[in-house]
Structures are given as C-alpha cells and as structure tokens.
Amino acid sequence: MYLSDYHFHTHCSSDSTATLSQQAKAAISAGVREICVTDHWNLLDQQGKRLDTVYDWKRPLEQWRRLRHRWPGQLEVRLGVEVGNGVLNPAAVDAGLELPELDFVIGSLHSQSAAAGGRGIFTVAHACTRREEGAAVLEDYVGMLEELVQGAGYDVLGHIIYPLRYLPPEFELDLRPWWDRLAEVLRSAAAQGKGIEFNTTAGTTVEQWRDVLTLYRDLGGEVLTLGSDAHRPAHMAAAFPQALELIRAVGFRYLCVYRRRTPLFCKL
Ligand SMILES: [Zn+2]
Ligand SMILES: [Zn+2]
C-alpha cells in the first residue's frame, strides 16, 4: 500500500528542532512513500496570549522548496500546516491559507476557548485536581469542535481526542458523555467532504482511537489521514503497523493524501 505520514513537525515549529531532511529520511526508513509537513500556526500560546494572525510562510516554504524533489520516486514531500484554535479568527486563517503551494490543513484545538481563558489544554489538563475540572475541559473542548467544524480553515480535524492525552488518567474520563455531539461534528465534517486524522502521537495513543474511529466510520466517514505528530525523527510513522491494523479492523478502505486541499483516496 501507499503509506503516508500526514502530521509531523520541524524546527519551523517552536517545539521541534528536527530538520525536514531528518524527518524525511526517518520516514523513508519506515517505509513511508509520502509525507506532508504540518508545522504549527497557533493563534494562542499556553498562557492564553494571542499570537500572530498573519502566518509567516517564509521558512516553511523555503525548507519545503529546497527538499521537495530530493527523493524522486522514493518519497513525495508535500506542504501543509497545523492551525491551532483557528476558530478565534476564521477570516485571518482563511487569508493565511491562500498559498498556491499549500496541499493540506489540519484544524486543531490546542487551547481552551477565549471564554474559558484561552490557556493551553496541555497546561490546564495537567493542573486539574478534581474530576469535574477535567470534565469542564472536555465540555469546553467539544463546544469549540462544534464551532471549528463549520468553518473553512481545515481539511481534517486534528487529534480529536487531544485533551485525553493530558487529563490525569485516574479521572478515567473519556468522550462518551459528549458522544451525540461528537457524532454531529463528525457527520458535519463528512457531509462537507472533510475528514479527520488518526494521530498516533508518537505511538502512545493508538487504542484510545478505537471508539472515535468506529463512530466516524459508522456515520459514513471515509476521509481519513494518518499522522505520527512526530517532533523528532525517532517518532516518524510511530506505531503505524498497529494503527493500520485498527483502521482496517474498523472498516476503512482508504487512507487519504492531499493535493491543493483536495483528498486523494489511496487503497489500504
Ligand atoms: Zn497538535
Ligand atoms: Zn502537531
């Protein structure tokens, strides 16, 4: 099959020091045929401070142009971006995505809503001391997902289970109490020809995805990308064999890659 890693970072993201060349070589070693670099464009920082509403494409574009034809016939290198909390300013996001070279956009929510303070979900979830606080993080998160799914500034919804990565495991929280609302979000994405990603988070979250993937598939969802969210070469394509096994078991028939924001369906 034509294996792709559609979510990873380089030094153009503030939380990675990897070069695109290092990430690409790691992908080739893992049997990947196509990658899409998705560096961060966050509209909020962890403290809730507003960040640039104009994305500086200079470095990511230069890096990609230099390397896109480096591995002909071996590795296809595509350009994407991961927009964090684009719901804050949809018009600015749409303007920032008007780049002819851009193939793919992940719409993620890394921070709480402005009404909840806008702090990073990573920070807030780690600081939760009571189960109800954790549930409030999820409530706020699902509300933002409902907003995000309606907009234009994404092709796939990024790591839908994101808060579950960071909430204290002893709270035993999951998205079940919000299942009907989540189903509506997935139905809406599918109806618009958009999709979701299966984000293996450097190989740590494969099993956490089973229920969401099953729900999405049962609702007729077909547009699915696979990404490791690698911030370093050792995590490129992490846990992809297990992820593929799960994707097939749930009933998906394709993995998607993108050309100019349009999905191409690759048979599994
Ligand atoms: Zn992310
Ligand atoms: Zn990411």
CA distances (Å), origin 206, targets 70, 115, 221, 223, 225: 31, 32, 19, 18, 14
pLDDT value for 204: 85
Nearest ligand (C-alpha, residue 165):
1
Which residues, by Cβ under 5 Å, contact ligand 1, an ion?
Answer: 108
pLDDT value for 205: 86
Nearest ligand (C-alpha, residue 16):
2
Instruction: State in Å: Cα 254 to ligand 1 middle.
Output: 23
pLDDT under 70 in the chain at which residues? none
Q: Apex CA 172: angle with CA 44 and CA 242, to 5°?
A: 80
pLDDT value for 79: 98
Instruction: State in Å: Cα 158 to ligand 1 middle.
Output: 7
Closest by CA position to 157, among listed 167, 169, 146, 168:
146
Domains identified in the chain and CATH numbers: 4-267 (3.20.20.140)
pLDDT value for 121: 98
Exposure string (b/e) for 137-175, b if CB count within 10 Å is 16 or more? bbebbbbbbbebbeeebbbbbbbbbbbbbbbbeebebeb
pLDDT value for 202: 84
Instruction: State in Å: Cα 266 to ligand 1 middle.
Output: 24
pLDDT value for 64: 98
Task: Report the chain's mean pLDDT, rounded to a whole number.
Answer: 97
Nearest ligand (C-alpha, residue 202):
2
